[in-house]
């Protein structure tokens, strides 16, 4: 077996929060049978099902296209932006990632020839450092204002606290400690400032990140 991280059936959707990457992921799973869909009542039995029901997690109640990486009731371990703030050195995490990814059925799906989707908020180069043979679908928006508006209407209202019990180390980073002290806060509520200041912060951050994507894409060509 090839090294897990060198497998060519990882599919990363790389985008900034608010750029509708989960919608694109559902579209890919709907139109390509080679893309595995995380079918469950929480996500929707099919990728086209974005209806909300009593099983829908908070993220989906706010942004119906959102989905979790669920296989037979267990979540595949997270990557990059989701888990990195919880570790002093992210290299500590990868043996656990590999163990749980295999135990929870991820490798079996890859070996059956289907792509496993990971929506992530990092650059192509960062993905390739860890997963050199992965397929990457990158979203670079034409209209940043729409991304900012969507972020403010959705992501800003997401719960900031993520349990991640199976995946976290036995210590707290400053980030994790702050969240432990603010378990009910939304992402917006963690920001100390006025709505105008928050909008400026989100706008400048997303604009900068999209520009980094454009610069990287240009350098590749």
| Residue 110 to residue 39: CA distance in whole angstroms | 16
Q: For the segment 158-216, what is each residue's pLDDT rounded down to a tens digit?
A: 999 988 989 999 999 999 999 999 999 999 999 999 999 999 999 999 999 999 999 98
What pLDDT was estimated at residue 153? 95
Residue 220: per-residue pLDDT: 58
Q: Which of 181, 145, 143, 137 is nearest to 161 (CA)?
A: 181
Alpha helices in the chain (DSSP H): 21-31, 58-62, 94-103, 106-111, 124-130, 144-153, 174-180, 187-190, 195-220
Question: What pLDDT score was predicted for residue 157?
Answer: 95
Residue reference for tokens 């009910």: 184
**Which band of pLDDT confidence, cut at 50, 70 and 90, is reported for residue 4?**
very high
Confidence of residue 55 (pLDDT cuts 50, 70, 90): confident
Q: Spell out a b/e string for 68-89, using b for 16 or more CB atoms within 10 Å of the CB, else e.
A: ebbbeeeebbbbbebbeebbee
pTM: 0.93
Distance in angstroms (rounded) separating the CA atoms of residues 181 and 174: 11
């Amino acid at each position: 077996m090839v090294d897990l991280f060198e497998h060519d059936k990882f599919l990363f959707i790389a985008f900034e929060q608010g750029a509708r990457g989960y919608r694109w992921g559902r579209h890919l799973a709907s139109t390509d049978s080679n893309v595995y869909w995380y079918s469950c009542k929480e996500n929707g039995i099919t990728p086209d099902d974005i209806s909300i029901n009593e099983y829908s997690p908070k993220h989906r109640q706010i942004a119906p296209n959102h989905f979790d990486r669920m296989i037979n009731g267990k979540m595949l371990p997270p990557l990059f932006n989701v888990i990195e703030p919880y570790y002093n050195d992210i290299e500590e995490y990868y043996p656990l990632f590999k163990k749980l990814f295999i135990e929870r059925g991820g490798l079996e799906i890859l070996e059956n020839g289907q792509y496993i989707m990971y929506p992530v908020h990092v650059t192509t180069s960062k993905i390739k450092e860890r997963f050199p043979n992965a397929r990457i679908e990158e979203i670079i928006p034409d209209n940043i204002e729409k991304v900012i508006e969507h972020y403010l209407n959705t992501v800003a209202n997401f719960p900031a606290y993520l349990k991640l019990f199976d995946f976290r180390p036995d210590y707290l980073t400053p980030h994790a400690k702050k969240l432990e002290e603010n378990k009910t806060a939304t992402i917006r509520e963690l920001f100390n400032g006025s709505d105008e200041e928050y909008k400026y912060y989100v706008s400048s951050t997303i604009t900068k990140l999209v520009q980094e994507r454009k610069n990287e894409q240009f350098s590749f060509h």
